[in-house]
Structure formats: C-alpha cells, structure tokens
Structure 1
C-alpha cells in the first residue's frame, strides 16, 4: 500500500515512485502535496533535501494528468540558471518516461529562434530561466494562455533585481493559474510577491 499523500497521485506516478524505490514521503511532502493538489497558490518552504524538487515534479505531472494536450505549455518552471534548468529537466525525464508528456528545456546556450520554433511545435512543461521565458514572450514565441501551474524552484535567486523584474513581466502575461514558489525560507523579496500574483497564498513549511 502506498502511503498518503502518494496513494492519491496519478497511477503512472505511483508506478514510477515504486520503480525508484521511493515509498515513504518526507514530512514536507506529507504537508505540501495535498495543499498543492487543492489548487491553491502556495509558498513551500523547507531546508535542502526535504523533497521539494520531487514534490514540484509530482504535483506538476499529476495536474497535467501525465499526458500531452494541445501545443501551448501548460506548466512553466523557472530556475536560477542554465545548470539548474538542465538538472531539473533530467529529473523530470525520470518521471515522464512511457508517457506522451513533452518536457522542454529552454536552454540558454541555444539560439532564441530555435527555442521559439521548437516550442511552437508543441510542449507541455517549459523549464527555463526567467530571462529566457521573458525573451520568448517579447518575441511572441510563447503562448501562456494554457498555463495551469507555474512553479519557481529554489526561489532565493529572486533577490536579484533582473530575475525579479523578469518574473513580474512573465506572470503578468498569465491569467487563472496556480503559482507555487519553493524556497528554504520566505524572504522579504518573496513576501513582496503577495502584492502581485501570490495573493491569498498558503504557506507550507517543514
């Protein structure tokens, strides 16, 4: 028997967790997964190695039902830099094998026009830095009308003004979407987001 909160996840995710021999959720996952699944905006705070990244992947894929749909991305995940984007992309692939779901890496080393044309062909999850996502928006290379869940992984990097400004620009283009911010603690910078797109956000800490 899968323990709660894993047992209410999409059947494919439960299979993958079993194959990865992950049977026990961390205390953070026990608290956070049900709240994220409820559809609320959430600030998720926990120390490193609490299972934040796995939570991000599981809740995103669960929301997208582990299958492709349409051509516009239904999830955007922002990360601090290109190395983290690649790392997270590879982590996602462990959970999307044998599914039709399309995870796309907005690699900063590629030309923006190439990213634009590949995204246009159809993706479900976009993983990239705020700078890349903002550039794509400015070039009309990203349709945000279908975004259902917007995650920021390890959001402490938003203390950087350029990153913060880029996130503000990106989120202004998105309507009716769930926002989930992951960090070790809620900094004054993250608190500021409550005045923008994180209003009425719940806080989960472990």
Structure 2
C-alpha cells in the first residue's frame, strides 16, 4: 500500500494511474456509423503490428507495453487463435485497430481499441466499441474487461464508462520511459514530462 502523499518518480521512469474496468453483461449499443472497413488479421507480421501500434498509440499516448516484448513473446500473443486483431481502414490506410483477448476462459479482455487522429471525432470509436462488445459477448463469457491509464487520451476513461464498463480498481504503474530506451522517439507523448536520469 502506498502511504498518502506525494511519491517521487525516479528520473528515466514514467508513472501512470491505471484504471481497470469491466462489464458483466452486454449493454445497449450506442448509436454509431455502421459502415466500418474492418477485417480480421490472423498471424500478423510483427513489423506490421508494431508499426500500427506505434502509429495509433505510441507517438501520442506513449503506448509501450507491446514494444517492450521481444519477437517471440509478441508472436506468442498476437498469433494465438484466442486473440483477435481487427484493423480498421479509411481511404485504404489502416487508421486504428481493435484487439480482443479470449485466452482466459470465460472472459474477454479488450486489450486495445485505438484510432489514429484521422478517425477521432467521427463516431468510428463508438462503432468499433459496438463491434468489440458484439464480438466479445458472442462467446460464452461472463466478464468483459479493459484498462486505461493516465498516459492515454483524457477522454478514454469516460468513453469506456459511456460504453458500459464500470471501474473496479486502480493501480500505479512505474516503468522505464520508452523515449529513453529508444522504443519511441524523444518527441512522443508531449503531455508527459521527459526526466532524464
């Protein structure tokens, strides 16, 4: 347990408050566009996956979790038949993706749902969430869960709540700053101070 008060984050690290959310039954779907250009990719190429991951989450939001995995660890996750990866396209370019993880029996984790700036504010996020909810609850699950953190878009937490998720707990995560490890460029995540050791 952390004591009340301020706690120093060591130079070279980033800190985030992680909020875990879940739903125990499918909610009513929210109005959204229905013309999604979405397809499932099985056995994705590692370079393709990392490039899309960086584009939709790395530069703006300092997503680094999958960038810290070596090739074998990443391949094990994204080629698992119980992990579904659904990129979304606009004008022939992939501008976001949805990743559902069914590896734990009876549950589905919304591992990632992200859009590049070209699709933000178009209703595509709601449409992608509707798709995620429909896919998740089409399987015999009793829990659909997701997590977001203070490195994400400041609109993410409320988006998940409006979509039917309820917060269940919070954690503090401290990790190496991916800009200093070379996983992301130094100019990534300008909303997060870069503190060199």
TM range (shorter): 0.3 to 0.5
By relative contact order (CA 8 Å, sep 6+), the higher-ranking structure is: 2
Q: Which is richer in strand? A: 2
Q: Who wins on radius of gyration, i.e. which is larger?
A: 2
- Give the TM-score taking structure 1 as reference length: 0.35
Q: Which is richer in helix? A: 1
- Give the TM-score taking structure 2 as reference length: 0.36
